[in-house]
């Protein structure tokens, strides 16, 4: 590829960025797009509607850029949560590393590569990119020391930044755990692979087991139900509740217009409601058989999994880590994810199937990665004009035009590759869901790792090795030859829109850390191979300690910071328990646990929370219906009845 092709690609991308910036700046001002660009502020009631007739809305502005730039980390933490802060930290960290590498390479490495050999240079736009790489440096050149020095500077800078970021985010996570409002997940564990018994139900088994072995700390439990039928039951309960709310409103007004339409709840004529004299008694009499039917149906749909609640955080953490049975495949316990983080469809998956699912998803992901070789190889062919002309000889005349050449080799490959890459995240999310993750954040973390592995393999290794590596598979069959082969081929927002559904406590940061370490070690190994090819054993030898240092640094971070992101400390949990007991908040927390893990859709919650009730005086109450059962209360009642 020539420099002119690279500049053409950069020019097109910059032009598209400016166009998108103009469109965003204009579209965000239109009243019809408020729900798109200001979803969070609209939900919180922090935004109003202005006069739609305003010519200023037709022109772009830059004020939003300065507002976004001036937003402090504390504001983002208060609005978006710790995960949002970590995501932005990852972006800022990446920009810092890129900036350091860009300055070092532009001022030190690139000029040395350009003048690495005695040759007649063309005008820079006509130069091949190869003259700017280390491939243009003569063998045994003393200037290879500059490349080794640049590698040291970039590696040490990256490790230093990683350390400060890891330490800072670890402190934020500890603060998030100890200073935030009581989290139901701190008192809850998820128990799976509950043994089946013909004499008692799963619920009875759970209660009997934990009352026997955790009697002093066990509070209560909630069963997990199989999907499908249970969701249908809850949908039916949702419809039933709407009918009950209408019934209460009618009874409160002590009147109902005659109608021949039958009531969907009981099948009687709606004018029969005139006969109701005792509102609460009549309505609850109608609710009782429905609740009994729900209880009977739900018990039949119990799965071998349950949420178990404990009286203290410390008791929950201990129970989650202790082996509950001599058979490790029974009574398997884990810390429960947050109520809004639960991935319900995976909770009733038999525990014994998980290892099969993991192997199957690994095989499927591997097959998908190899199938992706087809578009990647095609894209690589586009960047090499000679190969493209051989594959498609009828395009020779068109490809000889300079602008077409620059667009095809410089811009088109990246566009095609990005279009194909759009299919990767959904596929990896599907694989991670099948894998059996019990939380939404865990599924996304798993998918994130799969995307990283996929990108490293397909976009880096295959993209640079296609055409050479595929034909040289035998040559790289030995692991010791991989650095040499790579050395040969390589040189040739949040305040307005982001709505937090759940909080993982910054658990995505270790993924960014590990990815950076992997990238550093990979680049160092490639450098060793390059220095060896360039007959500079001293530079190659000095790079070995850098690899060892990077791995030792990673091990230190793994020992010092990573445990904070995996579990909670007994010291913090016991102190939090003591504070809640001293303040008298424990009873409130226990009541919260009863409905925190209700297995129903969030849409149902929204509907029932917005039902208006009518008091006897005709006034309205915008909260849950006071004279009847709110949806969370319905769930709590059912679970309490099951535990009796």
Q: What is the mean pLDDT of residues 77-95?
A: 88
Q: What is the mean pLDDT of residues 596-614?
A: 48
Dihedral pair phi/psi, residue 494, rounded to 5°: -160, -30
- What is the overall mean pLDDT for the chain? 76
The reported pLDDT for the residue numbered 392 is 60
Pull the structure tokens for residue 314: 């410390």
Dihedral pair phi/psi, residue 581, rounded to 5°: -65, -40
CA distance 347 to 330: 15
> What percentage of the chain reaches a pLDDT higher than 90?
32
The reported pLDDT for the residue numbered 393 is 63
Residue 280 has pLDDT above 80, yes or no: no
- pLDDT tens figures, 230-249: 555 566 666 666 666 666 66
Least confident interval from 280-294, 448-462, 589-603:
280-294
Residue 605 has pLDDT above 80, yes or no: no
How far is residue 204 from each of residues 190, 390, 643, measured CA to CA in Å? 16, 73, 8
Least confident interval from 153-157, 272-276, 296-300:
272-276
- Burial (CB < 10 A; 0-12, 13-18, 19+), residue 202, is buried
CA distance 536 to 527: 11
Residue 137 has pLDDT above 80, yes or no: yes
Least confident interval from 211-225, 403-417, 588-602:
403-417
How far is residue 276 from each of residues 19, 57, 109, 426, measured CA to CA in Å? 66, 58, 88, 55
The reported pLDDT for the residue numbered 388 is 60
- State the pLDDT confidence band at 372, using cuts at 50, 70 and 90: confident
The reported pLDDT for the residue numbered 30 is 77
The reported pLDDT for the residue numbered 133 is 81
Between residues 614 and 298, which one has the greater pLDDT? 298
The reported pLDDT for the residue numbered 403 is 64
- State the pLDDT confidence band at 450, using cuts at 50, 70 and 90: very high
187 and 323 Cβ atoms separated by less than 8 Å: no
* Maximum mean pLDDT: which of 26-35, 397-406, 575-584: 575-584
- State the pLDDT confidence band at 483, using cuts at 50, 70 and 90: low
511 and 450 Cβ atoms separated by less than 8 Å: no
| CB-CB neighbours of 178 under 10 Å | 15
Each domain of the chain, given as residue ranges in start order, spans 1-70, 184-337+571-643
Between residues 493 and 303, which one has the greater pLDDT? 303
- pLDDT tens figures, 382-434: 655 555 656 666 666 665 666 666 666 666 777 777 788 888 899 999 999 99
Q: What is the mean pLDDT of residues 193-198?
A: 91
Dihedral sign from CA coordinates of 166, 167, 170, 175: negative
Q: What angle (nearest 5°) sits at the alpha carbon of residue 395, between those of residues 393 and 399?
A: 120
Residue 281 has pLDDT above 50, yes or no: no
Residue 504 has pLDDT above 70, yes or no: yes
The reported pLDDT for the residue numbered 496 is 59
State if pTM tops 0.85.
Answer: no
Q: Identify which of 204, 217, 233, 396 has the alpha carbon closest to the alpha carbon of residue 306.
A: 204
Q: What is the DSSP letter of 478?
A: S
């Amino acid at each position: 590829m020539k420099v002119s092709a690279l500049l053409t690609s950069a020019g097109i991308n910059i032009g598209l960025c400016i166009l998108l910036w103009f469109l965003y700046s204009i579209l965000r001002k239109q009243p019809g797009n408020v729900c798109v660009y200001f979803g969070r502020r609209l939900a919180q009631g922090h935004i109003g509607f202005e006069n739609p007739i305003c010519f200023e809305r037709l022109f772009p502005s830059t004020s939003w850029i300065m507002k976004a730039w001036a937003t402090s980390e504390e504001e983002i933490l208060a609005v978006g949560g710790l995960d949002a802060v970590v995501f932005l930290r990852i972006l800022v960290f990446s920009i810092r590393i890129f900036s350091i590498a860009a300055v070092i390479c532009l001022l030190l490495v690139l000029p040395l590569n350009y003048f690495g050999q005695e040759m007649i240079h063309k005008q820079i736009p006509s130069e091949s990119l190869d003259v700017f790489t280390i491939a243009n440096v003569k063998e045994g050149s003393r200037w290879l020391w500059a490349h080794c020095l640049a590698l040291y500077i970039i590696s040490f800078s990256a490790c230093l930044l990683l350390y400060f970021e890891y330490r800072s985010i670890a402190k934020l996570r500890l603060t998030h755990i100890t200073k935030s409002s009581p989290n139901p997940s701190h008192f809850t564990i998820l128990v799976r692979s509950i043994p089946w018994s013909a004499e008692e139900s799963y619920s009875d088994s759970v209660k009997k087991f934990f009352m026997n072995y955790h009697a002093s700390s066990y509070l209560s439990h909630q069963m997990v139900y199989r999907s499908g039928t249970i969701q249908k039951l809850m949908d039916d309960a949702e419809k039933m509740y709407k009918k009950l709310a209408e019934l209460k409103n009618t009874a409160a007004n002590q009147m109902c217009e005659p109608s021949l339409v039958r009531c969907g709840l009981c099948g009687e004529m709606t004018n029969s409601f005139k006969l109701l004299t005792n509102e609460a008694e009549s309505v609850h009499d109608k609710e009782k058989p429905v609740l009994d039917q729900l209880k009977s149906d739900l018990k039949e749909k119990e799965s071998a999994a349950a949420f178990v609640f404990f009286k203290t955080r410390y008791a929950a953490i201990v129970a989650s880590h202790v082996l509950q049975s001599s058979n490790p495949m029974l009574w398997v316990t884990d810390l429960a994810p947050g109520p809004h983080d639960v991935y319900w469809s995976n909770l009733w998956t038999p525990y014994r199937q998980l290892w099969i699912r993991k192997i199957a998803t690994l095989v499927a992901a591997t097959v998908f990665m190899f199938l992706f070789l087809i578009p990647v190889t095609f894209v690589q062919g586009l960047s090499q004009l000679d190969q493209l002309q051989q594959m498609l000889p009828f395009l020779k005349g068109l490809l000889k035009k300079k602008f077409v050449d620059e667009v095809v080799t410089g811009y088109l490959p990246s566009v095609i590759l990005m279009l194909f890459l759009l299919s990767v995240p959904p596929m990896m999310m599907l694989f991670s869901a099948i894998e059996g993750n019990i939380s939404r954040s865990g599924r996304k973390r798993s998918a994130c790792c799969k995307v990283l592995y996929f990108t490293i393999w397909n976009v880096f290794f295959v993209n640079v090795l296609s055409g050479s590596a595929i034909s040289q598979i035998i040559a790289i069959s030995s692991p010791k030859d991989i650095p040499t082969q790579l050395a040969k081929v390589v040189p040739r927002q949040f305040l307005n829109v982001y709505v937090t559904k759940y909080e993982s406590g910054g658990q995505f940061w270790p993924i960014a850390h590990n990815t950076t370490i992997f990238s550093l070690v990979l680049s160092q190994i490639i450098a060793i191979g390059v220095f060896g090819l360039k007959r500079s054993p001293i530079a190659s030898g000095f790079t070995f300690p850098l690899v060892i240092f990077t791995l030792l640094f990673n091990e230190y971070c793994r020992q010092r910071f990573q445990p904070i992101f995996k579990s909670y400390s007994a010291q913090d949990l016991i102190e939090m328990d003591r504070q809640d007991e001293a303040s008298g908040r424990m009873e409130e927390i226990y009541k919260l646990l009863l409905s925190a893990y209700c297995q129903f859709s969030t849409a149902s919650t929204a509907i029932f929370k917005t039902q208006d009730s009518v008091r006897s005086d005709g006034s309205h109450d915008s909260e849950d219906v006071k004279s009847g059962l709110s949806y969370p209360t319905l769930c709590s009642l059912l679970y309490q009845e099951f535990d009796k």
